[in-house]
Amino acid sequence: MTAISRTPARRRTALGACVLALAAMVLTGCGDDPDAGTNGVGKLPPDTIQSRARAAADAAKDVHLAGTVVTGKDTYRLDVRLKAGGASGSVTAKGSAFRLLRVGEELYLKADAGFWKRAGDASAASKLQGKYVKVPQTDAAYKKFIGFTEKDVLMSGLLPLHGKLATAGHHEQGGIRTIRVTGDGGLGGTLDVSLEGTPYPLRLVRAGRAGTLTFSEWGKDFRLSEPPASETVDYGSSLPAS
C-alpha cells in the first residue's frame, strides 16, 4: 500500500512542476522586448532612425548595392560595389547587360557584341566586345552612367523617404534584425534599418514603386584598379548613341 500511495504523489509533483515551468515560459514570452540586445535605434522616433541610418551610410567607405531603380520609363537592375574612389559592378537596362568600372574620374564600360550592335556600331562590335571601353567625359553616356558609380550621389538620392514618417515593426533582412520606417504609410517608401551594430540601411523600397534595393557589406573594403591596356579600348571622343 505504501508503494501505491507514493506514485500518485510523485506524478502530482511532476505535473505541478510542468505547470509552473509552462507558466514561466508564457510570462517570459509576454514580456519579451524586441529591442533587447539591439543597438537601441528601434526605440527612437522614426525621423531620428532615418537620420541615424543616413549618417551611418555617409560614414561608411564601402557598400554593396543590388536591386532595381526605375527612372521615368526606364528600369535599371544594379549590382554594384561602391566606394569613395570608384565602383565596380553590372547594370542591366532595356534587355542589355554591361559592366561599369570607375577608378577616380575614369569610367569604363564593358559589354558583349550584342550591346554594341544595339548601340549602333555593328561594324566595331567584334572589336569592342569583352573589352573595357573608356568612356569620354564629354560623352552623354558618361553623364548618364557616372551616377550609378558615385556612392554619395546614390545615397543622397535614394535613401530619403517622403511624407510623414512612422515605424512599421521589427523585421529581418539577410538574417539581421531590422526596424522598418515608412513614409506616408509606405506610399513614400520604406527603409529597413539594422538593429545590430551600426544602424546601416539594409533594404529600401522606393516611393511610387520606383524600385527596391538591398545594401550589404557596409565598410567591407575592396580593390579597384584600372583595367590592363590589353583589355582596354579607347573609342575616341564619343561612343555610339545608345
Tens-digit pLDDT profile for residues 150-207? 999 999 999 999 999 999 999 999 999 999 999 999 999 999 999 999 999 999 999 9
User: For the segment 198-229, what is each residue's pLDDT rounded down to a tens digit?
Assistant: 999 999 999 998 999 999 999 999 999 999 99
pLDDT at residue 1 tops 70:
no
Say which CATH class 41-233 falls into. Answer: mainly beta
What residue has cell string 510542468? 18
Beta-strand ranges (E) seen in 12-156 are 62-71, 74-83, 86-93, 96-103, 106-111, 132-135
Share of the chain above pLDDT 90, in %: 63
Could you give the angle at which helices 151-158 and 46-59 cross, rounded to 10 degrees? 170
| pLDDT > 70 fraction of the chain, expressed in percent and rounded | 82
Q: First-to-last CA distance in the chain?
A: 97
* pLDDT tens profile 65-95: 999 999 888 899 999 999 989 999 999 988 8
d(CA 116, CA 236): 15
Helix (H) or strand (E) holding 157: helix 151-158
Rounded to an integer, what is the distance from CA 76 to the centroid of its chain?
Answer: 14
**Backbone dihedral angles phi then psi of residue 113, each to the nearest 5 degrees:** -65, -35
pTM: 0.81
- Quick one: how far is CA 220 from the chain centroid? 14
pLDDT at 148 over 60: yes
| Residue 131 contacts residue 110 (beta carbons within 8 Å) | yes
